[in-house]
Structure 1
Amino acid sequence: MTASVRPKILLLGVVHFIDKDILKRYESEFELINYDITTKEDLISKLETEFNDIVAIATVWFSFVPVGGLHDEKLLNALPKTLKVIATPTVGVDLYNLDALTKRGIVLANSAGITSDDVADIALHLSLSAYRFTSLFENSLRTHRNTLSARYVVEDQFDKAAGRASSEDVSAKRKMVYGHLVGNYKVDSPKGQVAGIVGFGSIGRAIAKRLAVLGMKIHYLKRSPLTESEIEELGGTGSTPPFEITRHETFDSLAKVSNLLVLVVPLTSDTRHILNERTIALLPDAARVVNVGRGPLIDQKALIKALESGKLSSAGLDVYEQEPLIEPALAERHDVTLLPHIGSCTDESAQAALENCFVNIKDVVLGSGKARNSVN
């Protein structure tokens, strides 16, 4: 194939993320065009002119984020008729209007399964932090710079409504404490407690394996029983899982037994605010909540209210309802571990997910016409 007729791929987003070796592997087959969005109007103009013969879009990190996703009708109408596939390095596809893309015959391919282990590692970190209150203890230690004082104020001077321990100097009056209490709350071991996982795809199953190692009882939400291949992915054989595991068909049923609730389900109209004031009330008292899925899965105001009241003992969050901003009340609480949406952020995952974009594009444009990770 000569350079003059190479199919064109629009690399949309922050291109410096991509390893140069990955680009070299595909430059002989495709013409790669770099473009970072400035405004919606400029993107529409370019799609209708200099990008009007592209066959694929590889959405590098942040891609359509500056224009609020690929939902705007004018933007959708500007997509070239030559466009066959949009490939994203993410798992979530809430930035895209799936129905509109399907009607236009455009394949949307994600990178499901590529980053599962790294996201599961962060979920494990947040789960352990929620049980052991590590963010609270760390902030106390940074404030007091004394291990005895740090433990003492967490036990004796913890304000649950504020989610913080006292910053007052207690060196003259502190007592020796063990560190097993946070105010009136016990610092529990996760062993023997129920972990309820909402979303049992590749990430959910990777989380299950990690929490099972801690001795937790794994419950999960899934409409159909696990297949043999899914059981094998967990480390089992045939129809026998490697550890005790219980399926629930409704969220309410799962919530009622979950000492730890882990959210990793995609964001849809059905899952938006799946954790809200009503469903939080179903959880056991002093439950923990971890979210590595999408921020709007949780009604954050209801979450904060439950933390203030003591219905929830702690939480661990990697995603937020109004991302990139976070609720000020969450930022002030030390009984919540906060991470800046870094669940999949290792270099290995980044490069593998980006290469997966090119693999999906090649399959559609030069291969069978089907993407291995098609979501529509």
Structure 2
Amino acid sequence: MERRGSVYVTRLLPAPIMERLREICDYEVNAEPRPATREELLRGVRGRDAVLCLLNDRIDAEVYDAAGPQCRLFANYGVGYNNIDVPEAHRRGVWITNTPDVLNDATADIAWALLFATARRVAEGDRLMRSETFSWQPEFMLGMDITGRTLGVIGAGRIGRNFARKSRGFDMKVLYAGRRPSPEFEAETGGRFVPMDELLRESDFVSLHVPLTPETRHLIGERELGLMKRTAILINTSRGPVVDEGALVRALESRTIWGAGLDVFENEPDTAPGLSALDNVVMTPHVGSATVETRVNMGLVAVANIAAALEGREPPNLVRA
């Protein structure tokens, strides 16, 4: 009988993913409603041919050692892979894959949801309705206009382009900043490439769409927040540490900026002291890709990567950086 590959899955995933995985290999899964502990992770990867991991699993030399030399692939369930020591994997000849493209719309959509919710004070209004303590008057719950304003997008990759493209329905001027000009971004969005400082000064809404790297950690800090308009709103659906969360709390408290919409946090699931007490921030619990279709498609992409590796083929979504 032909040997089926052995795979460790660090969290239980939606049923269609597990069913597809069952068709191609034998697997063990951490079925607990929480991330695997470090000890469980090290024990689970031992002797496997591949591992399907999540963003809160730290994959480093210790894990590679535990998995053993026969482990060819760590398939990350997500587009970001800052949880993985990619250079060490490359040094060992281990493949790393991610799940690009399938979550572009969902993540861009949650950024827009946060932008609208913050600008029009949706969460604050919901709380007032439930408390039954409000009294309407002409200056009650005034928010910020969206149509016709200036949108600043930091990061011109797939999700940033998708997010900016959706702004056309609101007749917005688009500025973008990144490592270099992007003809694709400009063709799809009509956006104009500018230095980041100019973007921060001119934009009414600033949305972050960059990966977490040493260069982007605390990309937005006290200095950058100070450049923004006092009426500006910051949106972050990328990675929490891209923003200095303590500096953001101070900027929101002092009204250096008008508000923020956040789906990611610097030390998840915890937030910086004082953040949750503020009315001018809307927060969601890292749910950018959390639609039924997207989460299933992410898993099917990860399984396709695993299937290729088990057959000795180069996976289609190989991380090369």
- Normalising to structure 2: TM-score of the pair? 0.90
Deviation at 1:114, TM superposition (A): 1.1
Q: What corresponds to 2:119 in structure 1?
A: 131
Q: Give the letter for the 1:210 counterpart.
A: K
Larger Rg: 1
Q: What corresponds to 1:70 in structure 2?
A: 59
Which residue, 242, 247, 250 being the options, matches 2:193? 247
**Is contact 2:208–2:235 with CA below 8 Å preserved after alignment?**
yes
Secondary structure at the residue paired with 1:273? coil
Superposed CA RMSD in Å reads 2.3
Name stretches of at least 5 consecutive residues in structure 2 with no aligned partner: none
| 1:116-195 alignment runs, 5 A limit | 116-146=104-134, 149=135, 151=136, 176-179=137-140, 181=142, 187-195=143-151
Q: Give the letter for the 2:52 counterpart.
A: A
Deviation at 1:192, TM superposition (A): 2.2
1:57 correspondence with 2:51: yes
**Is contact 1:361–1:371 with CA below 8 Å preserved after alignment?**
no
Q: What corresponds to 2:182 in structure 1?
A: 226
Looking at structure 2, the residues matched to 198 and 251 of structure 1 have their Cα atoms a distance apart, in angstroms, of 8
Looking at structure 1, the residues matched to 92 and 206 of structure 2 have their Cα atoms a distance apart, in angstroms, of 38
Which residue, 299, 304, 316 being the options, matches 2:249? 304
1:280 correspondence with 2:229: no
Looking at structure 2, the residues matched to 126 and 28 of structure 1 have their Cα atoms a distance apart, in angstroms, of 39
**Is contact 2:151–2:172 with CA below 8 Å preserved after alignment?**
yes
Secondary structure at the residue paired with 1:219? strand
**Is contact 2:97–2:315 with CA below 8 Å preserved after alignment?**
no
1:294 correspondence with 2:294: no
- Name the % identity: 26
Looking at structure 1, the residues matched to 115 and 234 of structure 2 have their Cα atoms a distance apart, in angstroms, of 8
Looking at structure 1, the residues matched to 240 and 234 of structure 2 have their Cα atoms a distance apart, in angstroms, of 12
**Is contact 1:120–1:203 with CA below 8 Å preserved after alignment?**
yes
Looking at structure 1, the residues matched to 23 and 84 of structure 2 have their Cα atoms a distance apart, in angstroms, of 29
| 1:1-376 alignment runs, 5 A limit | 2=1, 4-13=2-11, 15=12, 17-19=13-15, 21-35=16-30, 38-47=36-45, 51-52=46-47, 54-59=48-53, 61=54, 64=57, 69-71=58-60, 73-146=61-134, 149=135, 151=136, 176-179=137-140, 181=142, 187-227=143-183, 230=184, 241=187, 243-248=189-194, 250-366=195-311, 368-376=313-321
Secondary structure at the residue paired with 1:252? helix
Q: Give the letter for the 1:177 counterpart.
A: P
- Normalising to structure 1: TM-score of the pair? 0.78
Flag as ranges the 4+ runs of structure 1 deviating above 4 A.
none
Looking at structure 1, the residues matched to 307 and 139 of structure 2 have their Cα atoms a distance apart, in angstroms, of 59
Looking at structure 2, the residues matched to 131 and 34 of structure 1 have their Cα atoms a distance apart, in angstroms, of 42
Count of residues in correspondence between the two structures: 318
Looking at structure 1, the residues matched to 23 and 288 of structure 2 have their Cα atoms a distance apart, in angstroms, of 33
Deviation at 1:45, TM superposition (A): 4.2
Judging changes above 3 Å, is the alpha-carbon distance between structure 1 residues 76 and 251 closer, same or farther for their aligned structure 2 residues? Answer: farther
